Chains A and B, each alone.
Chain A
């Protein structure tokens, strides 16, 4: 994210902000179709699926939640996994606070709309508070609307099928996680990307090694320890994660 700085007017016209926001909304809405379908295939009802998109509204956590439920990991592990993945939203909010300076009454809705896409847009159009705010809310609202519409169509579509497994939806789940992971493996400098690949492969290996010994869901949680170890290890030598 944030790599497309050149070739844009210094005022970041509201037209270009709105167009980008709409494009991002449509793209994530298409992705929400698969979330809706996968959620229903994992055993949630259409209404339960929609509740996640309306109130959790953070894609990776939603996918993880239904993924853990679908593989029999149980409620507690599903909740913890979703929250670990959502922890980065705290960090986004923390960095957006001074940029957006929301009024007290606006904080609840600002918080709801704080996701990868809206944060990236707010920080990309950082030439003025006004532009940042517009980028944040235009993107947040656009994604919110399309994400929820996509979820609804996806879940209704999947619940109309007799056996979602026949469409290969079980393979759509890891593909979805991989698509979420991919930008984090390829978006940085080449030395950062190498570190991220190493971290990803280690984490995957740890989780796989633990599958036979732990109940479903727990191997994924244990892989979080690899991230903790990497943060401690790399913290001493360099700073692999830079902000925008």
Chain B
């Protein structure tokens, strides 16, 4: 675990460093700029889906989906980050406690 933490930390730091060491004209590459802007959207959306529905290698609907729905409502109401996360966790725990969803 430690090795992967250090490698990942070094890797993401190196990405930051790289930007200051590369020549500025790299920025002109429209395709590079566009792709870097779109990558987080794809990855984060995929992470939302996987973390909501995956149980190992199967798909399941459980209390996490309810929590995510509550998070969406909180985001639409412009709640701050921490509030979004707390209401998602609390509502998930609540429907589990009620026994409505696993």
A contacts, CB < 8 Å to B: 27-28, 30-31, 33-34, 43-44, 48, 51-52, 55-58, 60-61, 63-65, 67, 69, 71-72, 75-76, 78-79, 81-98, 102, 107-108, 110-112, 114, 166-182, 184-185, 196, 199-201, 203-208, 211-216, 219-220, 223-224, 226-228, 230-232, 234-235, 239-241, 243
Contact B42 A111 (CB under 8 A): no
Tally of A-B Cβ pairs under 8 angstroms = 315
Given A223-B46, A230-B38, answer yes or no on A89-B31 (Cβ-Cβ < 8 Å).
no
B contacts, CB < 8 Å to A: 1-13, 15-22, 24, 26-27, 30-54, 56-59, 63-64, 66-68, 71-72, 75, 80-82, 84-86, 88-94, 96
- Most A C-beta atoms less than 10 A away, residue of B38, B57, B66: B38
- Most B C-beta atoms less than 10 A away, residue of A95, A174, A215: A174
**In the docked arrangement, what's the CA distance between A224 and B48, Å?**
14
Query: Of the candidates A78, A86, A185, A213, which one forms a contact with B41 in the assembled complex, judged by CB atoms under 8 Å apart?
Result: A185
Contact B41 A65 (CB under 8 A): no
Query: Of the candidates B19, B71, B81, which one forms a contact with A30 in the assembled complex, judged by CB atoms under 8 Å apart?
Result: B81
Which chain B residues border A110 with CB–CB below 8 Å?
Answer: 20
Which chain A residues border B6 with CB–CB below 8 Å?
Answer: 51
Query: Of the candidates A33, A52, A177, which one forms a contact with B48 in the assembled complex, judged by CB atoms under 8 Å apart?
Result: A177
Which chain A residues border B89 with CB–CB below 8 Å?
Answer: 167-169, 171-172, 175
Contact A204 B82 (CB under 8 A): no
Chain B: minimal CB distance from A41 (Å): 10
Contact B81 A107 (CB under 8 A): no
Contact A212 B58 (CB under 8 A): yes
Contact A196 B41 (CB under 8 A): yes
Which chain B residues border A58 with CB–CB below 8 Å?
Answer: 12, 16
Chain B: minimal CB distance from A179 (Å): 5
Closest to A53 in B: B9
Contact A241 B75 (CB under 8 A): no
Instruction: Add 18 more A-B contacts to A31-B81, A223-B45 (CB < 8 A).
Output: A30-B81, A30-B82, A34-B85, A69-B1, A71-B54, A84-B43, A88-B36, A92-B19, A97-B24, A172-B85, A175-B71, A178-B48, A181-B41, A205-B49, A211-B59, A216-B57, A227-B41, A239-B30
Closest to B96 in A: A168
